[in-house]
Amino acid sequence: MKPCANKRRALALHTAGALAHADRLDIQQHLESCAGCRHHLATLHGIAALLTSHGNQNLELEDSLVLQRDWEPKLKAEASRWRPFLVTYRFPRLRLAWIGLLVFAMAVGWIWFQPRPQPSQHAAWVHTPIEGEAQLATSMHGAPARIGSGPLPTWMYFPESTDAAALEALLDQVSLQRSQPAPSWDLEVWQSYDF
Amino acid sequence: MPRDNTTPEAALDPRIEERRLFQEAQAGDFEAFNAAALQLSPRLVRQALLLCGEMEQALDLAQESLVRGWRNLHQYRAQAAPFTWLCGILLHVHKDWLRKRMRRPIELFDPTAPPAWLARTVAADPLEPDASLCNQERDVILRHALERLSQKHREVVFLRFYVDESLASIAAALGCSVGTVKSRLFHGLEKLAGMRELHGLIDDRNRS
């Protein structure tokens, strides 16, 4: 005999004494006409009675005195260990602030100690009126470099040396020749210069 | 030092006194927690004994529950009875204990040693060892049935039928809604109803 599928929950809650009054009346009415549900309810009541009687049995607990003697030092040790953090007991939301602060410090540290990218190459970006590759090479006094076409009408000048001082001296020399000031520059990033 | 701040209302209902002590403990008063623990520990050991069946283990479980209770006192909400809340912790400690027991190597059977259950049976009731043995067998079957439930279902079944708590108090102790407690109760009882060994116990009980 199987209970009705839509009444199983109500039967279990009825056993646990957790059914509202109206639902209880409804299930009692149903039980009068349904043998399967009656049988299932009897099983559930039997289980509940077993659990309750198991929970209510008399147990010898003289040894609880041992417990009192035993756990107190451990509890006190635990109390002294956690005493510095009592403020977080009282204000548990402070824990979030602590975690946030820790994450922030870790992020700052990670960024700070990140190895900085090294420039792989320096470039001089030459605008017109230099009109050709040969003219650019002449302007640069034949310094060892690779010359490539940039976005028209510009030229890219890639010095072979990555020595910043040498490149700066060369740019100064070219600026003087063309009577234009040399740009300021930064070695950390890929550069473009116009003069 | 024993505390004697009991109000007349608290003398009538020890739960009021326990709640007050827990609230003082939440404010950082260790002695208040100590006093509450002294009141609650015998009942806690009793519940632990029902769960694990061994006195020594029950003492360990209760002690660990109290330590964890102190450590997590900020999570206690006044809607729940302190004892119910501690029982919730006890069930978690019991779950950890079950897990450790699963990992423990199997002890070899010593045929020369007298079985422990026999000594316990005779000690429990020397005049009616049969009845005592039946009770112990029933206890073992019930404990085993509870252990086979999932943690969530075991919590609500235990707190409802062993601790005899109201649904609202169980919900407050476990930090969930009453609807969730009802749902877990339903599933827990359904699983128990599906265990054949419990049907035998029910029949025995009906016959007696």
CA–CA distance, A78 with A158 (Å, rounded to integer):
69
Strand partners, A155: A126, A149
**Cβ contacts (< 8 Å) between A68 and chain B: which residues?**
38, 41
Please, is B199 exposed, middle or buried when counting C-beta atoms within 10 Å of its C-beta (0-12, 13-18, 19+)?
middle
Instruction: Quick: pLDDT tens for B112-132.
Output: 554 554 455 445 555 565 666
Instruction: Quick: pLDDT tens for B159-194.
Output: 898 888 888 888 888 888 999 999 999 999 999 998
The order of strands in the sheet holding A124-126 is A124-126, A155-159, A145-149
Q: Quick check: B198 contacting A, CB < 8 Å?
A: yes
Angle between helices B178-193 and A35-56 (to 10 degrees): 100
Task: Report which of residues A37 and A123 the model is more confident about.
Answer: A37
Q: Quick check: A24 contacting B, CB < 8 Å?
A: no
How far A186 CA sits from the closest chain B CA (Å)?
56
CA distances from B80 to A59, A169, B34, B66, B195 (A): 26, 80, 19, 16, 31
Q: What is the reported pLDDT for A105?
A: 95
Closest CB to B49 among A43, A46, A59: A59
Sequence-ordered strand ranges (E) for A30-144: 124-126
List the single best residue of B160, B184, B191, B201 to mutate versus A (max A Cβ within 10 A): B160
What percent of chain A is modeled with pLDDT above 90? 5
Cβ–Cβ below 8 Å for A43 and B199? yes
Cα–Cα nearest to B61, from B73, B72, B52? B52
Strand partners, A125: A156
Cα–Cα nearest to B44, from A62, A48, A64? A64
Q: What is the reported pLDDT for A77?
A: 75
Cα–Cα nearest to B55, from B100, B120, B99, B115? B120
CA–CA distance, A45 with B189 (Å, rounded to integer):
10
Instruction: Quick: pLDDT tens for A118-172.
Output: 544 555 555 545 556 666 666 665 656 666 666 655 566 666 655 666 666 666 6
Considering only alpha carbons, which residue of chain A is nearest residue B191? A44
How far B45 CA sits from the closest chain A CA (Å)?
7
CA–CA distance, A141 with A172 (Å, rounded to integer):
12
pLDDT mean by block of 10 residues, chain B; 208 residues = 50 74 83 84 85 82 87 82 90 88 61 52 55 75 88 90 87 88 92 87 79
- Say what the pTM is: 0.61
Which residues 31-70 of chain B have a CB within 8 Å of chain A?
Answer: 33-34, 37-38, 41-42, 45-46, 49-50, 55, 59, 62-63, 66-67, 70
**Cβ contacts (< 8 Å) between A76 and chain B: which residues?**
30, 34
Say if residues B32 and B6 touch (Cβ distance below 8 Å): no
Interface A-B: count of C-beta contacts within 8 A: 126
**Cβ contacts (< 8 Å) between B59 and chain A: which residues?**
63, 66-67, 70
